[in-house]
Structure 1
Amino acid sequence: MGYVAKRLAALALLLFGVSIAVFAIVRLIPGDPVRVILGTNGGDAETVDRLTRQFGLDQPLATQYVKWIGHVVTGDFGYSYGQQRPVSDLISQNLWPTVQLALAGLLLAIVFGLVIGVSAALRRGSLYDTAIMSTAVTFLSIPSFWLGLLLLLVFAVQIPLFPVAGGAGLSGLVLPAITLGLGEIGFASRFIRSSVIEAGRHLHVVTARAKGLAGARVLQRHVIRNSLLPVITVLGLQFGSLLSGAVLVEIVFSRPGLGRLLVDAILAKDYPTVQACVLLIAVIYSVVNLLVDLLYPVLDPRIGVR
Structure 2
Amino acid sequence: MKAFSFIASRALQGVIVMLGVSAIVFFALFLTGDPAALMMPPDASRAEIEAFRQAMGFNDPVWVQYGRFLGGVLTGELGNSLRFQRPALDLLLERLPATALLACVALLWSSLFGFLLGTIAAVRKNSAIDFSIRVISLLGQAIPVFWLALLLIIVFSLKLRWLPSSGIGTVWQLIMPSIALGAYYLSAITRLVRASLIEVLGENYIRTARAKGITSRRIIIHHALRNALIPVITVQGMYFASLLGGALVTEIIFAWPGIGRLAVESIQNRDFPVVQAVVLFAALIFVVVNFLVDLAYVWLNPRIRL
Fold conserved between structures, TM > 0.5? yes
| In structure 2, distance between residues paired with 1:178 and 1:26 | 36
Give the direction of change, closer, same or farther, for the CA distance of 1:259–1:198 in structure 2 (3 Å limit).
same
Aligned partner (choices 18, 23, 46) of residue 26 of structure 2: 23
Supply the AA of the counterpart residue of 2:145: S
- The one-letter amino acid paired with 2:182 is G
| Cα deviation, residue 244, structure 1 | 5.2
1:119: Cα distance to partner?
Answer: 0.5
Distance change (3 Å), C-alpha of 1:245 and 1:274: closer
Question: Which residue of the partner structure matches residue 203 of structure 2?
Answer: 202
Aligned residue for 2:75, secondary structure, equals: coil
8 Å contact 2:38–2:270 — kept in the other structure? Answer: no
Aligned counterpart, 1:134 = 135
CA positional deviation for 1:52? 2.1
Change (3 A) 1:58 1:77: same
Q: TM-score by structure 2 length?
A: 0.92
Contact 2:242 2:282 in 1 (8 A): no
**Aligned partner letter, 2:174:** L
Q: Which residue identity lines up with residue 25 of structure 1 in the other structure?
A: A
Partner of 2:273: 272
Cα deviation for residue 133 of structure 1 reads: 0.5
Tell me the residue number matched to 2:48: 47
Equivalence map 1:184-195=2 (5 Å): 184-195=185-196
1:11 to 3, 10, 14: 14
Q: Secondary structure at the match of 2:167?
A: coil
- What is the rounded CA distance, in whole Å, between the counterparts of 1:282 and 1:14 in structure 2? 8
CA-atom RMSD, angstroms? 2.0
The aligned length equals 303
* Distance in 1 (alpha carbons) for counterparts of 2:93 and 2:304: 38
Pairwise CA distance, 1:13 = 0.6
> Which digits, 9 at most, give the CA deviation of each residue in 1:47-88, with x for residues without a partner?
222122112233343332211111110111111112211112
In the alignment, the residues of structure 2 paired with residue 229 and residue 36 of structure 1 have an alpha-carbon distance, to the nearest angstrom, of 45
CA change 1:123–1:245 in 2 (3 A) is farther
Percent of paired sites with the same residue: 37
* Structure 2 residue aligned with 1:214: 215
Q: Quickly say closer, same or farther: Cα 1:240–1:117, change in 2 above 3 A.
A: same
* Residue of structure 1 in register with 2:303 after alignment: 303
SS of residue paired to 1:266 = helix
1:147 corresponds to 2:148:
yes
TM-score (norm 1): 0.92
Q: Distance in 2 between matches of 1:188 and 1:194?
A: 10
**For 2:70, what is the secondary structure of its paired residue?**
helix
Q: Structure 2: give runs of 5+ residues left out of the alignment.
A: none
Q: What is the 5 A alignment of 1:169-184?
A: 169-184=170-185
Q: 1:2 aligns with which of 1, 5, 8?
A: 5
The one-letter code of the counterpart of 1:175 is: M
Unpaired runs of at least 5, structure 1? none
Task: Give secondary structure in 2 for the equivalent of 1:227.
Answer: helix
| Distance apart, 1:157 and its partner CA | 2.0
Query: Partner residue of 1:101?
Result: 102
CA contact (8 A) 2:197 2:224 kept: yes
Q: Does the CA contact (< 8 Å) of 1:18 and 1:279 recur in 2?
A: yes
Q: Using the alignment, how far apart are the partners of 2:96 and 2:166 within structure 1? A: 18
